[in-house]
Amino acid sequence: MAKWIQLLVSAAILGTATAATGNCTSPEVRKSWHDIPNSQKTAYIKAQQCILSSPAKEGKIPWAKTRWDEFAGLHQLLALQIHSTGNFLPYHRYFLNIHKHLLNECGYNDSLPYWDETRDAGSFSKSPLFDKTYGFGGSGTGSQNCVPDGPYVNLPVNIGPGFKNQPRCINRKITDFLSTQCGASYVKSAVAPNNYNDAAKAIYMGPHLLGHEALAMMNGDSITSAGDPLFMMHHGFVDKMWFDWQKVNKSRLTEIGGLNAQDPARGFWEFSGTQESQSSMWGKPNAAQLALTPDPQLGDGGPNMTLNHSLSSLGIIPNATVADIMDTQGGYLCYVYA
Ligand SMILES: [Cu+2]
């Protein structure tokens, strides 16, 4: 697709970005779930229920039964490209944008909320995010740790665990002490490094990973954690860390680095090896999954991440480049965090 058509389509999706100039005049303000009105929470939840219950639309991933499966399935296919690599922060920012598109399809046009986890660090279980009416439901119960209440009960996900695919409940098991490391002092050290690779790694290994582990179950599975709608709240928090890091110096809006993929023959790997014993149970992508997985070197022409790197949603929204998403107020994107 020609670049200008792509920009027009993107502008139509985002509403506030002007394609003709690439300007972003009135950025969407993304607020923590704590601070949005109940009416917005209800509208968001209704759209999320719609995504979880709508049939698959793209038809590219044969094992995806719902629209949500197509989204979670995309994260599964790309798992070895977007974790412990230079594409972690860029792709998850683009992934938030894909989610925004799915919410739009289901009638939600307000700003994307995120979860300011610093406010709940050390006591996740008491967070308003787990409210059964105005939140995502609570900690799991029973042998599968299925979330027992809230808006997403009885809405199964057909992706995961790991590289497997079977119908399952959204599950989580909150451990408060692990959530301590999502606190303000930990976030401050995560965004302290001066270069992209070190900051990306500190964010990944710090509040990002600990947030996942504090929620565990589906949320602790790096391949298919995106099955739980709560994932998007957590990754808004992660994206805000990158946004805050980038704000320090304009040169950071063009700074990228690292590799664009892990080795699929090895299976999933985390930066420091802390989860390797766990990841062995997540398995490896099978031949059908590999055949569907976008080429990680597309745009880069080699194993290293560049600004030309191609970001794919397998057709849900147009492909973008890393250059497009570097600046949240660059025109392709148009938002800030409050
Ligand atoms: Cu991920």
The residue behind tokens 């959204």 is 170
Q: Which residues of 161-200 are buried (b: 16+ CB within 10 A; e: fewer)?
A: bbbbbeebbbbbbbbbebbbbbbeebbeebbeeeebeebb
C-alpha 134 – ligand 1 centre gap (Å): 25
* Maximum average pLDDT range among 115-119, 143-147, 221-225: 115-119
C-alpha 223 – ligand 1 centre gap (Å): 7
C-alpha 20 – ligand 1 centre gap (Å): 32
Dist. CA 93–CA 108, nearest whole Å: 19
pLDDT of residue 271: 52
Residue 58 burial class via C-beta count within 10 angstroms: exposed 0-12, middle 13-18, buried 19 and up: middle
pLDDT of residue 28: 97
C-alpha 332 – ligand 1 centre gap (Å): 22
Residue 22, Ramachandran bin (φ over 0: left; ψ between -120 and 50: alpha; else beta):
left
Dist. CA 275–CA 287, nearest whole Å: 24
Residue 273 has pLDDT above 80, yes or no: no
C-alpha 82 – ligand 1 centre gap (Å): 6
Strand partners, 311: 320
Is residue 120 a contact partner of residue 127, using CB atoms and an 8 Å limit?
yes
Interval 2-40: pLDDT, tens:
444 444 444 434 434 434 447 899 999 999 999 999 999
Interval 281-327: pLDDT, tens:
677 889 999 999 999 999 999 999 999 999 999 999 999 999 999 99
Domains and CATH numbers, the chain: 27-337 (1.10.1280.10)
C-alpha 21 – ligand 1 centre gap (Å): 32
Angle between helices 67-77 and 38-53 (to 10 degrees): 80
The pairing of beta strand 28-30 with beta strand 335-337 = parallel
What are the tokens at 94?
């683009």
Residue 66 has pLDDT above 60, yes or no: yes
C-alpha 201 – ligand 1 centre gap (Å): 14
Overall average pLDDT of the 199-203 stretch: 97
Dist. CA 86–CA 124, nearest whole Å: 29
C-alpha 121 – ligand 1 centre gap (Å): 21
Q: Which helix (H) or strand (E) holds 18?
A: strand 17-18
Is residue 268 a contact partner of residue 279, using CB atoms and an 8 Å limit?
yes
More confident residue, 70 or 84: 70
Least confident of 46-60, 177-191, 259-273: 259-273
Query: What's the CA angle centered on 182, arms 177 and 187, to 5 degrees?
Result: 145
The residue behind tokens 């148009």 is 334
Dist. CA 180–CA 157, nearest whole Å: 29
